[in-house]
Amino acid sequence: MLVSLRSSVYFVAMVLSIGIYGLAIVTIGMLLPLSARDRMAASWGRSNLWLMKVICGLKYRVHGAENLPDGAAIIMCKHQSTWETISLKALLPPAQSWILKQELMRIPVFGWALAAIPNIPIDRSAGRKAVKKIVERGSELLAQGRVIVIFPEGTRTAPGEKRKYGIGGGLLAEKSAYPVIPIAHNAGVFWRRRGLKKYPGTIEVVVGEGFDPEGMKASEITRKVESWIETEMEKLPASRT
């Protein structure tokens, strides 16, 4: 009962934060340089991490923080819950561009804010056309010094389950030759992929050492990332007890 109450309070706070920050980004932010909008989005992420800690008792611990990028890189992250879509905004450098499903762009305020920052919305049913967009637009944004964030599984996967890793991130790395950094975490244990409840505890986040994809094929890059992430996932707690 207490978990449900705290989760509901946080949900309201999160929605309010989206409204406040989203409107700020698409109004005041549009009059400022892109770097200002990036910092506003990062501030939104930090605010929500604080709200989760205070309201829900949900904290996190980062292992391998020294591996986080300080410039352009391709982040390939495990996707288990909504948590990582919030937290990476705070944990990574502010200059971020995400590969995301285009349906998100249609959400009032939230979608407007996404459009105010150079993200890469794709139609997941478009196949090769979507992959081509990832490679072309992703390469342009990397050249501008931005971090590209991609969830290679494509959708949220419950703890203990595995899903095929898409090749889009691997192709982007092959063609652009920018470093690849894998991230594993067990957020889904505390915030289920289709649930509203946020259970108290500490999410473990592991940032892998970046590697140079030069000379590697997209399939090799994808397998390397998948192997590292799934191996790390086996080491992380799979339950709250």
Which residue is listed with tokens 């340089």? 33
CA–CA distance, 241 with 54 (Å, rounded to integer):
21
Domain presence at residue 150:
yes
pLDDT digits (tens, 9 = 90+) for 153-165: 989 999 988 899 9
SS3 80: coil
With beta carbons less than 8 A apart as the criterion, state whether 149 and 168 touch. no
How much is the pTM? 0.95
pLDDT of residue 194: 83
Domain presence at residue 124:
yes
pLDDT digits (tens, 9 = 90+) for 223-240: 999 999 999 999 999 888
SS3 204: strand
With beta carbons less than 8 A apart as the criterion, state whether 132 and 42 touch. no
43 — phi, psi (to 5°)? -65, -40
Domain presence at residue 192:
yes
CA dihedral angle for residue 138, residue 40, residue 31, residue 22, rounded to 10 degrees: 90
pLDDT digits (tens, 9 = 90+) for 60-93: 999 999 999 999 999 999 999 999 999 999 999 9
Q: Is the pLDDT of residue 121 over 80?
A: yes
pLDDT of residue 195: 83
Q: Which two tokens stand for residue 105?
A: 């762009």
pLDDT of residue 55: 98
The percent of residues in the chain predicted with pLDDT above 70, rounded, is 100
How many domains are there within the chain? 1
pLDDT of residue 80: 96
CATH number at residue 157: 3.40.1130
CA–CA distance, 236 with 205 (Å, rounded to integer):
9
The mean pLDDT of 181-203, rounded to a whole number, is: 95
The mean pLDDT of 31-58, rounded to a whole number, is: 98
DSSP state of 212: -
Spatial CA neighbour of 15 closest among 101, 103, 93, 82: 82
The mean pLDDT of 189-196, rounded to a whole number, is: 90
Domain presence at residue 33:
yes
Domain presence at residue 241:
no
Domain presence at residue 152:
yes
The percent of residues in the chain predicted with pLDDT above 90, rounded, is 92
CA–CA distance, 81 with 203 (Å, rounded to integer):
12
Boundaries of domain holding 201:
2-235
Q: b/e for 118-148, b at 16 or more Cβ within 10 A?
A: bbbbbeeeeeeebbebbbebbeebbeeebbb
